[in-house]
Structure 1
Amino acid sequence: MDTTVGLRERKKAETRQAVHEAAMRLTMEHGLDNVTVEAIADAANISRRTFSNYFAGKEDALLYGEQRRVWSLVEAFRERPAEEPTWQALLSAARSLYAEVGEPNRERAIQTRLVKQHPSLLARQMANHIRVERELARAIAEREGLEPGASRPCVLAAAYLMSLRIAANLWIDGQSDESQPRSLLELAEEVLAEVAQPFR
């Protein structure tokens, strides 16, 4: 039974990834406004109905890769040892995710940034960020024995996620410089160290 469930979940993950990649490719080739859900489904070799089982729309399909990584951060944080200080646990979560997925592909990162300049994607991305931030704040509150609505977990979650976004933007901007660009992890640790000063 466990094997069957595992295979089913892996197949679902592979389908989501295939749809995401098809959405990215078509959007880069034709522009978001000229890409339909039907076209993405065809490119991923699935039906329109199957597409709807995985994503609410083409924006969600495009943002899937980013969302998967960000939610993985929340899970990695939840798995950190209880005795580890909160900010250190957040930093450790970022390091563990980086160790798992490695340095992003340079060309893909630049393409992703260009795609996300579309207003509808920016709006969807912001809504996704708010959900993740709330869930991370809840996880921080649980770790520290605070009420979910307490200010400290909200501030920590917002500061942490914003730091990672700043580091990602700095990393992408640095990709135009061929003289040994800095790694994403190095930039993330630098920005997190700057932001963490008030929390130490």
Structure 2
Amino acid sequence: MPTLRARKKAARHDAFVDAARRLVRERGLDGVTVEDVCDVVGVSPRTFFNYFATKEDAVLGVPVDTAIGAPQTREAFAAGGPTGDLLEDCGRLVAEILAQDEEGRDELAELLELVHSEPKLLVRHLAWMETQRRALQDLITRREEVRPSGVDPVVTATTVVAMFRAAVLTWRGDATPGHHAPGDPPPDATPATEAGSAVVRCAPHHAPGVFGSPEDAVTHVLAQVRRLAGGTIHQQEAQGAP
């Protein structure tokens, strides 16, 4: 359970984000300063910069510390774990990153709307994604020294970033219904937790926006990537499957 200090820090972080987004919606990004955000929250700019590097980061919710996952998660991944399956472990890493972000579906839709309406936010978002990709590449390179996969870390890191974006879009409700991986339970099946899995397996044929959690969306994306990588699309086409 988070400590009182951690809860207060999280509440202050959320207050900055809420204030920054509201002001940008009202005035536009260029019409908002760090001081404006601080006035709404009731703190000094010095406190603001303990949380965010720029006003753009406050709108995006990108904190000063943008480490990928918890320290123990990073170390377990770099050591070749937790399962030893590179794609599965990448999926778990993405799931943890999403779990750290408590954005609801409505808040996420609002944020994406702001990003697309303000070019500077989009530029900053892309820069943040590249920073994350490079950090992932370094982490994957460490893992390759322990458990070689034969896959270029650049390719793996870029794929993980794409998985993250796909999971976000799927969680928001942009998934196309009727797409599922072979071996999934029938459409009316109840999602069940796989033994030893940190994420919940989703039933197929999802209507947009019906995933129970961001982790469910990651599981869906992971199944789609495995299907693509395994060539099962071509196998089904050859068999005349729908």
- TM-score, scaled to structure 1: 0.74
Q: Deviation of residue 100 (structure 1)?
A: 6.4
Paired residues of 1:140 and 1:153 also in contact (CA < 8 A): yes
Residues 166-175 or 86-95, more deviating: 166-175
Supply the distance in 1 between the matched residues of 2:62 and 2:152 (Cα, whole angstroms).
Answer: 29
- What amino acid maps onto 1:158 in structure 2? T
- Map of 1:75-114 to 2, 5 A cutoff? 76-80=73-77, 82-83=80-81, 84-96=84-96, 104-114=103-113
SS in 1 for 2:169: helix
Supply the distance in 1 between the matched residues of 2:47 and 2:142 (Cα, whole angstroms).
Answer: 37
Paired residues of 1:67 and 1:128 also in contact (CA < 8 A): no
Q: Deviation of residue 119 (structure 1)?
A: 0.6
Partner of 1:156: 156
Q: Deviation of residue 191 (structure 1)?
A: 2.6
**If you compute each CA radius of gyration, which structure gives the higher value, 1 or 2?**
2
Report the CA distance shift for 1:140/1:74 in structure 2 as closer, same or farther (over 3 A): farther
Q: % of aligned pairs identical?
A: 29
- Map of 1:57-68 to 2, 5 A cutoff? 57-65=54-62
Paired residues of 2:68 and 2:97 also in contact (CA < 8 A): no
User: Which of 17, 20, 41 is the matching residue for 1:20?
Assistant: 17
Q: Which runs of 5+ in 2 are unaligned?
A: 176-206, 232-242
- TM-score, scaled to structure 2: 0.63
Report the CA distance shift for 1:159/1:180 in structure 2 as closer, same or farther (over 3 A): closer
Q: Deviation of residue 91 (structure 1)?
A: 1.5
User: Which of 182, 188, 192 is the matching residue for 2:218?
Assistant: 188
Aligned length in residues: 189
> Are 1:198 and 2:239 an aligned pair?
no
- What amino acid maps onto 2:37 in structure 1? I
- What amino acid maps onto 2:90 in structure 1? L
Partner of 1:49: 46
Q: Which runs of 5+ in 1 are unaligned?
A: 1-5
Q: Deviations over 1:104-145 (max 9, x none)?
A: 422211111111111101111111111111111111111120
Q: Deviation of residue 174 (structure 1)?
A: 4.1
Q: Which has the higher helix share?
A: 1
